[in-house]
Structure 1
C-alpha cells in the first residue's frame, strides 16, 4: 500500500509540475520601421546658386544668405549658409571641417566623402557623423574661386543615433540631391 501511495504522489507531483505555464522569456526591444515617402523635387533659386530640394520640405530664407530646409514630420532641418570667397578659401574649408570634427567627442565615427564635379565646378565633401552627435551630416561645396556653401543637419530632439538613423539617412540622401543639382550663378 505504501508503494501505491508513493506512486500516486509522484504522478500527482508530475502533473502539477507539467501543468505550469511556459517560463516567460523577455522579448527583445522592438524597433519601429520608419519609412518616408520619396518627394518630388522643387527649385530653390537665389542670386548666387540654385538647386533642387525635396518638395515635402519647407525652404525659407533665415537671414542674409542663410537658408533652412525644414522637415516638420521628422522634426529636423538642413541649415545652409552661403559665403563669397574673398581670398579666404582655405580658411572657409578649414572652418567647415573643424565644425564637422567638433562632433568627434560624441560621435562613434565620422566618414568624409569627397565630392567632385568638374563640369559644374563643384568641389566639396559630405561628412557623415555616426553616433549620438548633435549633427548627423555636414557638408561644404565650392567652385574654389567665388562661391562657398555649407550645410548641416540638425534634429529638434536629444540625439539618439539608433532612433534618428532612418531620418538622418533620409536627409543625407536629400543633401546628396542638393549637391548633385547645385548650380552656381555668374
Structure 2
C-alpha cells in the first residue's frame, strides 16, 4: 500500500498548478533600417541615388557596347543589376523590345506582372517599372531612357531559391529603392 501512495501523492502534487494556456501564433517580423539615399556617381553617363544600406559599387563591367554596375545588398542577399547601352542607329525599338522580353521570360513562374510607366519631362527620363509576383527569379525590373542617347535597364535578383513568401519583405523594401533609383537618374549631356 505504501508503494501505491507515494506515486499517487507525487502525481497529485505535480498535477496541481495553473491551467495550460494556448500560446499565440508567432509571425516573422522583419524590420529594415529607414532608407537613406545618396547621389552615386559611376563612370557612366548618368548619376542616380542609392540606399546607403547597399555596398559600394565596384568597377564598371564592360561587354562590347554594354556597360553595367551592380548595386549589392549583402544583408538582404540581393543585387540590382544595372545595364547601360547607348541609343544609336535607331536601335531604341530593339532596346525596348529586349527589356520587355526579359521581363516576359518570367511569365513561366510568375503569378502576375504589373507595370507602372514613369515620365520625368524636366530631366528627360522615361521608362517602365515591372513588378513580378510569384516564384519568379526576379521580383522587379525596369528601364529608363531619354529616347535619344541613353538606355538603362535594371533587374533585382536574390541569392536564394525564389520563394515569394520568404523574399516578399525584402522585395518590398528593395522595390522602393528601385523606384527611387529610377526617379533620380540624371543623364550627362
TM-score by length of 2: 0.81
- Which residues of structure 2 form unaligned runs of 5+? 1-18
3-state SS, counterpart of residue 61 of structure 1? coil
Residue 75 of structure 2 corresponds to 73
Larger Rg: 1
3-state SS, counterpart of residue 169 of structure 1? helix
Residue 33 of structure 1 corresponds to 29
3-state SS, counterpart of residue 99 of structure 1? helix
1:98 deviates by 0.5
RMSD: 2.1
**CA displacement, residues 108-129 of structure 1 (integer Å, 9 cap, x when unaligned):** 0000111011111011100000
TM-score by length of 1: 0.83
**CA displacement, residues 80-138 of structure 1 (integer Å, 9 cap, x when unaligned):** 00000011000000000000010001000000111011111011100000000000000
Residue 19 of structure 1 corresponds to none
Pairing of 1:1-186 with structure 2 (within 5 A): 30-45=26-41, 46-58=43-55, 59-64=57-62, 65-86=67-88, 87-186=90-189
3-state SS, counterpart of residue 85 of structure 2? strand
Quick one: distance in 1 between partners of 2:100 and 2:27? 33
Off by >3 Å, runs of 4+ in structure 1: 25-28
Quick one: distance in 2 between partners of 1:71 and 1:47? 21
- Which residues of structure 1 form unaligned runs of 5+? 1-21
1:26 deviates by 11
Length, aligned pairs only: 166
**CA displacement, residues 145-168 of structure 1 (integer Å, 9 cap, x when unaligned):** 000000000000000001100100
1:61 deviates by 2.9
3-state SS, counterpart of residue 113 of structure 2? strand
